[in-house]
């Protein structure tokens, strides 16, 4: 069944927007623009100067383009599903968010910031589509699951294995920063793995990200408590790039130790105590964990309360421990830099995306969970009161 979305635009304006945006892409797949106009003659008309124009996108596009395969998971954002591109056979993950109030600034930031990123260690953004009930974000599928799951299975990694994933994490974060985007919620659950025998790490979930080109310096306390840097808790402006470094350090520590560095050992679910230990930079590496002096020194330069004195991403990339056994793929990615981004621009225009997001803010009719295709990603944000005790691996947002 073809689903047609109606926009209250002046007729000529709607036609020109359709040609430049979603409609022309779909109509080239199956019909001419003239046929589209004829087929829409009995569409609703509000007036001669302000007519209703049917824009053929949404559910028909989803059904024709993608075959839903299975659910990957769910969270506050909605449902996550695996799908197959019917034209190419490629497996994709689609983040499926209910239309209406859930389409907030975080969703818009996630889409616009993620769209501009092209790097082997970042999940590839493909497109956004609109159904009658949901907004669908189509993404590259990482079949290896979360890095968090791999650590849970292993308990902890050897130093060499931890370095292998840390090198990829830093490469991806370095690229984000070169594109003037800070992630602000780096954690094991937001790092996925592809299905290769030597897995490639992929950063995902840019819902808390900020672009220095589009936004002011961040000052909101957002992210996941166990990974939050001290300055993020100050409720003052901070450099998101430097706070990302701290989160990378927490990720490295967890890979090495199998526990969070700033949890109170006797009371790990106590949020207040965790924050106190973060501010005081109170952490240690257990005696039973074998970690080299070079690695310990790097962690000590990352876990510095004063962000001005903390090691930077460029400095980490020159650190001897980091450079040891550096994969050639990372060296190649660093060499290509911006050239890959310039050559491989996303095909979906920002104007088209913003139009879809705006329409998605209008609640859909008959919305229900599971109606459509979902996406790959973690849980949404969690609002927390100051005196609440929570699992510090959950997410935190204070604006």
Q: Binding site: which residues?
A: 95
267 catalytic per annotation:
no
CA neighbours closer than 13 Å in the CB half-sphere of residue 291: 24
Residues 165, 205 contacting (CB under 8 angstroms):
no
Q: Under the phi-then-psi rule, with left for phi > 0, alpha for psi from -120 to 50, and beta for the rest, what region is 89?
A: left
- Span between the terminal Cα atoms of the chain, in Å: 43
- Residue 206 has what DSSP assignment? -
- Classified as helix, coil or strand, 124 is coil
- Classified as helix, coil or strand, 56 is coil
- Report which secondary-structure segment, H or E, holds 182: strand 181-182
CB under 8 Å to 39, separation ≥6 — which residues? 31, 54
Residues 370, 73 contacting (CB under 8 angstroms):
no
Of 253, 159, 254, 141, whose CA–CA distance to 202 is shortest?
141
C-alpha dist (Å) from residue 249 to 88, 262, 268? 39, 12, 19
Of 302, 352, 343, whose CA–CA distance to 322 is shortest?
302
User: What distance separates the 2 farthest-apart alpha carbons in the chain?
Assistant: 79
Residue positions forming the annotated binding site for ATP: 95
C-alpha dist (Å) from residue 14 to 48, 57, 58, 130? 14, 14, 16, 17
| Residue of 61, 185, 205, 239 marked active site | 185
Query: Catalytic site residues?
Result: 185
């Amino acid at each position: 069944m073809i689903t047609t979305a109606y926009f209250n635009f002046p007729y000529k304006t709607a036609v020109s927007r359709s040609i430049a945006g979603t409609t022309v892409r779909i109509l080239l797949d199956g019909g001419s623009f003239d046929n589209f106009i004829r087929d829409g003659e009995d569409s609703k008309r509000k007036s001669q100067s302000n007519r209703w124009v049917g824009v053929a996108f949404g559910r028909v596009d989803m059904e024709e383009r993608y075959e839903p395969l299975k659910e990957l998971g769910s969270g506050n954002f909605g449902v996550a599903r695996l799908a197959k591109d019917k034209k190419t056979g490629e497996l994709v993950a689609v983040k499926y968010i209910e239309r209406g109030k859930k389409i907030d600034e975080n969703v818009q930031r996630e889409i616009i910031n993620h769209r501009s990123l092209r790097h082997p260690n970042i999940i590839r953004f493909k497109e956004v589509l609109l159904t009658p009930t949901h907004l669908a974000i189509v993404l590259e599928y990482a079949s290896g699951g979360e890095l968090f799951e791999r650590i849970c299975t292993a308990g902890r990694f050897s130093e060499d294995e931890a370095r292998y994933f840390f090198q990829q994490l830093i490469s991806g974060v370095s690229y984000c920063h070169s594109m003037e985007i800070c992630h602000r919620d780096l954690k094991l659950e937001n790092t996925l793995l592809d299905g290769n025998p030597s897995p490639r790490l992929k950063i995902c979930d840019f819902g808390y990200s900020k672009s220095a080109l589009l936004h002011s310096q961040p000052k909101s306390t957002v992210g996941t408590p166990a990974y939050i840097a001290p300055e993020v808790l100050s409720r003052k402006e901070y450099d998101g790039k430097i706070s990302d470094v701290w989160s990378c350090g927490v990720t490295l520590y967890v890979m090495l130790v199998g526990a969070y560095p700033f949890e109170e050992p006797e009371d790990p679910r106590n949020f207040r105590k965790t924050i106190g230990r973060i501010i005081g930079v109170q952490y240690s590496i257990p005696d039973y964990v074998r970690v080299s002096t070079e690695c310990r020194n790097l962690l000590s330069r990352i876990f510095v309360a004063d962000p001005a004195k903390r090691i930077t991403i460029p400095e980490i990339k020159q650190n001897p421990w980091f450079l040891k056994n550096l994969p050639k793929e990372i060296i190649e990615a660093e060499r290509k830099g911006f050239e890959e981004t310039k050559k491989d621009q996303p095909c979906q225009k920002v104007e088209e995306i913003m139009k879809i997001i705006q329409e998605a803010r209008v609640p859909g009719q008959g919305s229900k969970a599971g109606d459509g295709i979902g996406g790959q990603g973690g849980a949404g944000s969690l609002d927390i009161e100051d005196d609440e005790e929570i699992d510090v691996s959950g997410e935190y947002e204070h604006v």
